[in-house]
Homo-oligomer: A and B are copies of this chain.
Amino acid sequence: MSGRAIGRRGFLAAGAAGGAALVTLGGIEYRADAKLDVEAMGNRMEVPPAVADYYHRQSQTGYVAGPAPRAAGGGATREYWIKAVKVPDWDIVPTHRDAMMDRPIKGKTTITALAYQRFAPGFKQAMGRPQIPGPLIEADVGDTVVVNFRNECGTPVTMHPHGIFYTVDMDGTYKGRYTTPGDFVENGHTFRYIWEANPDTVGAWFYHDHGPMDPIPVFKGLFGPLIVRDPTVPLPDREFFICFHSFTPPYISLDTEFMCVNGRAYAGNTPTLRAKTGESVTWHVYALDNNFHTFHLHGHRWVDTDGGYLIDTKTLGPADIITVNYTEDNPGRWFYHCHVFTHLHMGMNGWYLVTE
């Protein structure tokens, strides 16, 4: 059941109340109150000639990875094999319960999601199931990250990184007539992204689709974490990667909006995180939807990156990422959650369990 093209111009307006919002992709407009069939829409996209030629040649030869380049920065080459895949049975609320309010979540909670999935070299076998967010991409300063990215999700998508250094051909961003092969990876094809962990790129960052179907694939789950580490800084005892996002009609085939942490909604479904007193704990908190959120953690506080004052709540907009560090000192069963009250009650919370 696809959106259907209609004959007047429109705009992307996710969740706008009252009226048939329109989605325009590739010059074709769709009614957003219908469920969006991103595959059918992708099939109707015009493939830029330079892109078509690139993947046509690949069709004839197959993907030849070749040896990964040596790291220009003198470090290691970190080679990844990642697919974008369709997940027809992603359950947003597997327990069908909201543990905070101790109530059932009735109705269907399963969607067809899109996700990144990590594979062994040569795409030989899957390393775990598809994840939302996708697999962690890690590098130390001086390393080069090589991602052999195969698109098997049915619609053209990409991997666009934040923060790490990349030349413009490695941007993974659809640019209309300026689109290059890495900006529009056709279904069934593979592109090798090469990104450099330069010294001035230390931090926790995103990667996400930014291809011609943007933002639909992101809203279906195509995003993940990337981190560039300073190897002189010790790793924390516990490190959490937590993303606040939402599954929202018409981007999902449900009538209900879910406010999620890492692809799930409601405590008991979202990640239950664990630490022990005395441990150093780091949270990397990501946000990626149309909403603004505030990250709040019960029973704890931390020094803000803002010159030294203490907070326990922090605002995050789309694509913002914050890093929170502290030494664990408070055992118990705690909540972490978005402090936007409606988001909290639509599922954006989770358990944090501290033992002595």
Point out the residues of chain B lying under 8 angstroms from A201, CB to CB: 301, 310
User: In whole angstroms, how far apart are the Cα atoms of A120 and B168 in the complex?
Assistant: 43
CB <8 Å contact, B103 and A24? yes
Residue among B169, B171, B341 making CB contact with A298, cutoff 8 Å: B171
Can you list 5 A-B pairs, Cβ within 8 angstroms, ordered by A?
Answer: A14-B342, A17-B18, A25-B101, A160-B298, A162-B313
Q: A173-B335, A201-B301 are in contact. List 20 more A-B contacts (CB 8 A).
A: A17-B18, A24-B345, A27-B101, A162-B312, A163-B301, A163-B310, A168-B299, A200-B301, A203-B301, A214-B345, A219-B341, A290-B341, A292-B292, A304-B306, A305-B307, A305-B308, A305-B309, A313-B320, A315-B315, A315-B317
Bits for A213-233, please: 1 = Cβ < 8 Å to B, else 0: 011001100000000000000
A63 close to B (CB within 8 Å): no
Q: For the complex, give the distance between the alpha carbons of A175 and B101 in Å.
A: 7
Whole-angstrom distance between the alpha carbons of A290 and B338 in the complex? 11
Provide the bound-state CA to CA distance between A341 and B293, in Å. Answer: 15
Closest to A354 in B: B168
Chain A residues within 8 Å of chain B by Cβ, number: 92
Residue contact A104 to B320, C-beta cutoff 8 Å: no
Contact string against B for A residues 1-44, beta-carbon threshold 8 Å, 1 for contact and 0 otherwise: 00000001101111011110000111100000000000000000
Chain B residues closer than 8 Å to A341, beta-carbon distance: 12, 14, 214-215, 218-219, 289-290, 318
Contact with B along A148-169 (1 / 0, CB 8 A): 0000000000001011011111
**Protomer copies:** 3
Residues of B within 8 A of A11 (CB): 256-257, 342, 345-346
- The 6 A-B residue pairs whose C-beta atoms are closest, nearest first, are A168-B332, A102-B176, A12-B345, A215-B341, A315-B317, A27-B103
Residues of chain B contacted by A112 (CB below 8 angstroms)? none
Of residues 307 through 350 on chain A, the ones whose CB sits less than 8 Å from some CB of chain B are 307-321, 323, 330-335, 339-342, 344-346
A166 and B299 contact, Cβ closer than 8 Å, known pairs A290-B341, A305-B309, A318-B294: yes
Of residues 176 through 200 on chain A, the ones whose CB sits less than 8 Å from some CB of chain B are 176-178, 200
Q: Please report the C-alpha to C-alpha distance between residue A202 and residue B165 in the assembled complex, in whole angstroms.
A: 32
Check A309/B323 contact, CB under 8 A, given A174-B100, A299-B166: yes
Contacts of A8 in B (CB 8 A): 106-107
Residue A127 lies at the interface, judged by CB distance under 8 Å to chain B: no
Contact A17 B16 (CB under 8 A): yes
Contact residues in B for A83 (Cβ distance below 8 Å): none
- In Å, the complex CA distance between A104 and B313 comes to 37
Complex interface residues of chain A between 215 and 263 (CB less than 8 A to chain B): 215, 218-219, 256-257
A304 and B305 contact, CB distance less than 8 A: yes
Q: Which of A16, A101, A294, A346 has the most CB of B within 10 A?
A: A101
Q: Are B342 and A12 within 8 A (Cβ)?
A: yes
CB distance from A91 to the nearest CB of B (A): 16
For A11, A26, A201, A320, which residue has the most chain B Cβ atoms within 10 angstroms? Answer: A11
A88 to chain B, nearest CB (A): 23
> A163 — which chain B residues lie within 8 A by C-beta?
301, 310-312
Judge if A99 is at the interface, Cβ distance under 8 Å.
yes
Residues in B whose Cβ lies below 8 Å from that of A167: 299, 330, 332
